[in-house]
Amino acid sequence: MARATTKKELLEAANTQFEALWNLLNAMSDEKKNEAFSFEDRDRNIRDVLIHLYEWHQLLLNWVQANKNGEAKSFLLAPYNWKTYPQMNIILWEKHQNTPYSSAIELLEKSHHDAILLIESFTNDELFTKQYFSWTGTTTLGSYCVSATASHYVWAIKKIKKHLTSN
């Protein structure tokens, strides 16, 4: 699937990939959903993958809201940058080691819904015109949205499929 370059494509890709993720999860046994991965160093189970998606939705939602309100805020949590964000991902992982699988599902469903509403609130030009907003730098807002939704869902699906075939 080509990377979205319009609002319509972005919404379609985000919803299609989210549905594909859910279809994959719904086809799995409860045992497999809760089984530890045999191959990972950060995300050790499906709950960890779902929480990762949720936390990246939060990054997007909080970043956009802050900047829309005039608060200059970086997409990534301070003090992390695009070279050090893997360490940030570990912090996000650690934060949720006591989050139950059922809560991860609820959090992700809500955050996906919120991300879709956020995307819908912008025009195509606002999403895909470079430097439309000063706070997106040289990247479009839509590119951040693609990364936090559709592209991340594809990553999650691949990781879960690896889990299904690795044991």
Whether the model pTM is above 0.85: yes
Q: Could you tell me what percent of the chain has a pLDDT over 90?
A: 93
pLDDT tens digits, 85-110: 999 999 999 999 999 999 999 999 99
Q: Environment class of residue 120 by beta-carbon count within 10 Å: exposed (0-12), middle (13-18) or buried (19+)?
A: exposed
Dist. CA 30–CA 46, nearest whole Å? 11
The pLDDT value recorded for residue 1 is 61
Mean pLDDT of all residues in 144-167: 94
Only one residue has tokens 């809560």, namely 103
Closest residue by Cα to residue 150 from 8, 7, 15, 6 = 15
Distance between CA atoms of residues 37 and 58, nearest Å: 25
> How far is C-alpha 72 from the chain's CA centre?
22
Burial 73-101 (b: 16+ CB within 10 A, else e): ebbebeebeeeeeeebeeebbeebeeeeb
Sign of CA dihedral 93, 99, 104, 108: negative
**Any idea where the domains of the chain sit in the sequence?**
7-21+50-166
What is the C-alpha end-to-end distance of the chain, expressed in Å?
28
User: Residue 100: is the preceding peptide bond cis (ω within 30°)?
Assistant: no
Architecture of the domain defined by 7-21+50-166: Up-down Bundle (1.20)
Q: In this structure, what token pair is assigned to residue 32? A: 């497999």
pLDDT digits (tens, 9 = 90+) for 27-79: 999 999 999 998 877 899 999 999 999 999 999 999 999 999 999 999 999 99
